[in-house]
Amino acid sequence: MDIVRALLYRFDWWINSPEFLNLLVNNRFLLILLVIVLMRLKYNTYSSMWASALVNIPGTLLHELMHYVVGLVLNARPCNFTILPRRGDNGMYVMGSVGFRNITFYNAVPSALAPLLLLVIGFYINRYYLPMMPLTATNYILYVLLQTIIIENAMPSSADFRVARLYFKGVLFYGLIFVAWLISLL
């Protein structure tokens, strides 16, 4: 038991040494490699619906929570919320969903594209929380895992885009607001 404890102590000392941390944090190749390894591990669970659901639950929860909150704020009246997987009509698995009772032109597009707000959350975590976090290999790997989950689940699904496209007036309305905002930046 003392040998195992000594090996763990030596490993912890090495992985948290300033030289290794500098190599880990300042090397973009290792960062990309870490993200790809995490994504590969995630995709290897897709052979089992329940293993896949377990791995995807944190991100699915964030994604669906964004739909729910924006729908609630914009009076879309969310009526159901689920993060449990189910088989869809086309045979594909649906990891989660939020239903609304009052979808109109002014709330359809923001409610459908609400997961994009996760990018703002990820940005603020990177900008304000990361500098305050003590630099250890474990913290850095957990940070990369959290950011990978946030950014991956910030992308609206094809069903989200389909709902947004159904409300042409809303697409036009928010498109004009976006163009006006871009012009104001010039």
Q: Tell me which of 114 and 51 has the higher pLDDT.
A: 114
| Residue percentage of the chain with pLDDT more than 90 | 39
Asked whether residue 167 is assigned to any structural domain, the reply reads yes
Asked whether residue 5 is assigned to any structural domain, the reply reads no
Condensed to tens digits (0 to 9), the pLDDT of residues 24-74 reads 788 889 888 888 888 888 777 777 777 777 778 899 999 999 999 999 999
Range of the domain at 102: 18-177
Domain count for the chain: 1
Please name the residue that has the structure tokens 């990177």. Answer: 126
Crossing angle (nearest 10°) for helices 168-185 and 105-112: 70
Q: Give the C-alpha separation, 55 to 43, whole Å.
A: 9
pLDDT of 89 higher than 70: yes
Asked whether residue 106 is assigned to any structural domain, the reply reads yes
Q: Give the C-alpha separation, 125 to 108, whole Å.
A: 28
Question: Measured between alpha carbons, how far apart are the two ends of the chain, in Å?
Answer: 66
- Read off the amino acid at residue 25: V
| Residue percentage of the chain with pLDDT more than 70 | 98
Asked whether residue 25 is assigned to any structural domain, the reply reads yes
